[in-house]
Homo-oligomer: A and B are copies of this chain.
Amino acid sequence: MNAPERLFLTDVQSRPDDRNVAIDQVGVRGLRLPVQVLARDGVQSTVAQCEATVALPPQAKGTHMSRFVEILEASDTPLSARSLPHLLERMLERLGARAGRLDFAFPFFIRKLAPVTGVPSLLDYSARMAVASSDAGAVVTLAITAPVTSLCPCSKEISAYGAHNQRSHVTLDVELRPRAKLTLETLAAIGESAASCEVYGLLKRPDEKFVTERAYDNPKFVEDLVRDLALALDARAAVRRYRVEVENFESIHNHSAYARIERVKA
């Protein structure tokens, strides 16, 4: 397209707005992109669902949707607690905005060793990295949902043998203090250590014997898990605010047992 034609394409979004209503967040959502994430053992390739938004002052009619996509596509730095504030800064500059937010949700993989045979395999977690403007600067949030095993203490105690157990989802969503370091791997390990037993991608028979007995030796209510998670995050100086959630997909019901604790630390 040549320049003169371009001149005729009015930029409707740049007109003033007279409703006097500020918008908290406006931008793009549900944008699926390949991303790289900084992991303990190097850079990991995965696929993220991205949301990128800015605050819009009352007088501005609209934002520039295509610029969000440009910035997200142009970025080639692996996602990390350190890189996200820079990416947010570039986005705010390009959009001419004073506040904004970036959110990436993606599957994250950790290589684990089977507990007895040591056979390696990958386990998939659902992770999220986000950064948002605040009065005190950019605030980074990390979150991970780890699949684990929970075994019911009540079922174990009242039954002559056996105990119902099931897959559970442990979610840790933490806001980091400025420049604090915390990895997704550490969050996953915290989540798994609170469970009756960890889960693995690949288990040989001796491993299966181990995890079966380990879970039976270590029964936990949903309340126990969420409390142990809260204590573990209370002890982490890097964490300023947290939300822990546990959902047990009960093997004896078709609904979940669920618990949640949210805290802002001093």
The interface of chain A, by Cβ under 8 A from chain B, is: 1, 5-6, 8-13, 17, 19, 21-34, 44-47, 51, 53, 56, 61-63, 65-66, 69-70, 73, 107, 109, 116-117, 121-124, 147, 149, 151-155, 157-167, 197, 199-206, 208-213, 215-216, 221-223, 226-228, 230-231, 247, 249-262
- Contact call A260/B222, Cβ cutoff below 8 A: no
Q: Which residues of B contact A70 (CB under 8 A)?
A: 202
Contacts of A164 in B (CB 8 A): 149, 165, 208, 211-212, 215
Each complex incorporates copies of this chain amounting to: 4
Q: Please state if A122 and B33 are interface contacts (CB–CB under 8 Å).
A: yes
Cβ of A108 to closest chain B Cβ, rounded Å: 10
One of B1, B223, B251 near A61 (C-beta < 8 A): B223
**Are A21 and B154 touching (Cβ within 8 A)?**
no
Q: Which chain B residues lie closer than 8 Å to A32 at the CB level?
A: 107, 124, 254-255
Cα–Cα, bound, A255→B228 (Å): 26
Shortest C-beta distance, A17 to chain B (Å), equals: 7
Is B65 touching A257 in the complex (CB atoms < 8 A)?
yes
Interface pair A122/B34, CB less than 8 Å apart: yes
Are B260 and A199 in contact, with the CB atoms below 8 A?
no
A253 touches B62 (CB 8 A): no
Give 22 A-B contacts (CB < 8 Å), ordered by A residue.
A6-B206, A12-B221, A17-B223, A19-B227, A19-B228, A21-B230, A26-B223, A32-B255, A45-B45, A47-B107, A53-B259, A61-B221, A69-B121, A155-B208, A158-B208, A162-B162, A164-B165, A165-B251, A166-B251, A167-B250, A197-B252, A199-B254
Roughly how many angstroms separate A103 CA and B4 CA in the complex, as a whole number? Answer: 52
Give A231 Cβ to nearest chain B Cβ, in Å: 6
A206→B154 CA distance, assembly (Å): 11
Instruction: Identify which of A13, A123, A205, A251 gathers the most chain B CB atoms within 10 Å of its CB.
Output: A251
Residues of chain B within 8 A of A24, CB atoms compared: 260-262
A44 to chain B, nearest CB (A): 8
Q: Determine which of B21, B47, B221, B226 lies in contact with A261 in the assembled complex, contact meaning CB atoms within 8 Å.
A: B21
* Distance (whole angstroms) from the CB of A150 to the closest CB of chain B: 8
Give min CB distance, A72 to chain B, whole Å: 9
What 10 pairs across the A-B complex have the smallest Cβ distances? Answer: A162-B216, A45-B45, A29-B258, A1-B206, A31-B255, A32-B124, A26-B259, A159-B212, A147-B254, A9-B205
